[in-house]
Structures are given as structure tokens and as C-alpha cells.
């Protein structure tokens, strides 16, 4: 199933993969209000749809996303800066729901990044589970260049990815991070030639979509909670979650397939 939700976002569900593609290549996929609403709505739908067992986020064009639409910002500032500042916090809090959905998604989320992956695009890459990057990728937090502090959860996610001092370096200097550094610092899991990005990203998403969805969700949640949980509490959660998985159809299939020396056919149940 393929559906263009608008001129800005393309949505497709195929073989268990919920695929969201940013589609403003002429604007280098700069974030628009319409894109914000559709990203939030579609991600919520994917969370609740049992047919979706993995989520892939990618973008049409040479760049994944250059961040906010600064032309719109300038128009609003010129019109009434005080009013723009008054309403801005409400807009940020509203869009934060999208990043919370990415963080809590009980299914693997993969992001395929190419070219400039800046601002909100970098924030998206920091919150998802896996990032596959083209060899021309350029990550950057550009907030400091327009005298803003970061948002969208990146100040929570980035220190967990790269460590506190590197996170401060990224935030305070706003310098470009190329593909090799992104790989070395743990911002990207894989770097591939740009021509292979979509094919490789779909292959990773397909592998995850064929997996034991409940077990992957519980594993994702445990790892995500680990930095904020003490040893005893984490052990208790591990016991709770693994016991839930024992009652799943996929666990029975996995054990049976192992004993029969064949590949398991997980159904996400």
C-alpha cells in the first residue's frame, strides 16, 4: 500500500514495514507545519497497527532534512517577534509528542540519512533505534548558529549516544559531522554508498520486520530504560519482560524451529 498523505510526506506499508518518506526535495525537506502533523499522526498509526512490525524513515532528494524552515521563521519574526516567541513554546511542546512516539515505539525504527541531516533531522536520527547513513551524510546541530538552544529530545539522546563531552561539542560548536565521524561516534550504525542507501535500509527494515516483535520491543525498552534504572530494578524488569515473551506464539515457534533445525517464521504474536 502506498499513499501520499500530502505533497510533503509519502506513506507506505509493505511486508510489515511502515515506510515514511519526507517529500519536500525542492526545499531540501525543511520541516513544515504540515509535515509535523503528518509525521506525528502516521507514527501514532504505525504504533497501533499490528501489520507494521518495523518503521523506516527516509527522504526523497539529496538531503534528508535541513531542519526548520527559516524563511517562515523570518517572516514570523518580522511580523511580530513577541507574538512569535509567545506561541513558539506551544509549538515545540506539541511537536515533542512526535519524538516521544519515536522513543516509545514498540517496534524497531530505522532512519536512512543522506546529505544534510541538520537540526530536527539530526534530532530524529538521535532518537530512533538504528541509523544507516550514505557516505555523503553531513550531520549538524545548527541551533547555535541562529542563537537557539536544542530541542526535540536531542539533549537527552545525544549524551547517551556519544558521551557528555562530545554532546557538548556538537551542541556548542555546531560543526559538521561527516560519515566517518558519525560512524566512529556511534551516531550512525552503518555507512554505505549513497546509491545503495535505500536498498540497504529496506533490507535492514525487512530483517527486523520478520523478527519476534514482542521480544524486540521488550529488549528495546530495557536498553532504553537502563541509564535511568538501578541494578535491582533492571533485573526485576528483565524477569517481568522475559516472562511475558515466554507466553508468546513467537517464542514457541522459535524453540520449535531451533529443535527442528530450520529458520523460525515469526508472526509478531
For residue 73, the model assigns a pLDDT of: 73
Q: Convert 162-195 to b/e letters by CB count within 10 Å (16 or more is b).
A: beeebbeebbeebeebebeebbebebbeebbeee
Q: What are the angstrom distances between the C-alpha of 210 and each of 70, 137, 199, 252, 268?
A: 40, 28, 17, 16, 8
Task: Decide the pairing of beta strands 2-4 and 9-14.
Answer: antiparallel
For residue 63, the model assigns a pLDDT of: 97
Q: Which residue ranges of the chain lie beneath pLDDT 70?
A: 1-6, 69
Task: Give the global pTM.
Answer: 0.90
For residue 2, the model assigns a pLDDT of: 46
Task: Give the DSSP letter of residue 266.
Answer: -
Q: How far apart are CA 97 and CA 94, in angstroms?
A: 6
For residue 106, the SS3 value is coil
Amino acid at each position: 500500500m502506498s499513499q501520499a498523505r500530502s505533497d510533503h510526506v509519502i506513506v507506505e506499508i509493505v511486508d510489515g514495514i511502515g515506510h515514511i518518506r519526507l517529500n519536500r526535495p525542492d526545499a531540501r525537506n525543511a520541516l513544515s507545519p504540515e509535515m509535523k502533523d503528518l509525521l506525528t499522526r502516521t507514527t501514532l498509526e504505525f504504533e497501533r497497527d499490528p501489520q507494521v512490525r518495523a518503521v523506516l524513515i527516509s527522504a526523497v532528494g539529496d538531503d534528508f532534512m535541513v531542519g526548520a524552515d527559516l524563511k517562515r521563521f523570518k517572516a514570523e519574526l518580522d511580523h511580530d517577534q513577541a507574538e512569535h516567541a509567545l506561541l513558539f513554546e506551544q509549538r515545540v511542546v506539541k511537536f515533542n509528542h512526535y519524538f516521544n512516539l519515536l522513543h516509545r515505539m514498540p517496534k524497531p525504527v530505522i532512519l536512512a540519512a543522506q546529505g544534510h541531516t541538520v537540526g530536527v533531522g539530526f534530532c530524529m536520527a538521535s532518537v530512533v533505534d538504528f541509523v544507516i547513513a550514505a557516505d555523503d551524510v553531513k550531520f549538524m546541530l545548527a541551533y547555535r548558529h541562529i542563537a537557539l538552544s536544542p530541542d526535540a529530545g536531542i539533549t537527552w539522546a545525544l549524551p547517551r549516544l556519544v558521551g557528555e563531552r562530545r554532546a557538548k561539542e556538537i551542541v556548542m560548536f555546531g560543526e559538521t559531522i561527516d560519515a566517518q565521524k558519525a560512524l566512529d561516534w556511534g551516531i550512525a550504525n552503518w555507512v554505505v554508498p549513497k546509491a545503495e542507501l535505500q536498498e540497504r535500509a529496506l533490507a535492514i527494515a525487512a530483517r527486523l520486520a520478520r523478527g519476534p516483535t514482542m521480544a524486540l520491543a521488550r529488549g528495546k525498552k530495557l536498553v532504553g530504560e537502563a541509564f535511568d534504572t538501578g541494578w535491582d530494578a533492571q533485573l526485576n524488569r528483565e524477569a517481568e519482560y522475559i516472562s511475558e515473551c515466554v507466553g508468546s506464539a513467537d517464542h514457541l515457534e522459535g524453540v520449535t524451529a531451533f529443535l527442528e533445525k530450520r529458520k523460525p517464521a515469526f508472526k509478531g504474536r
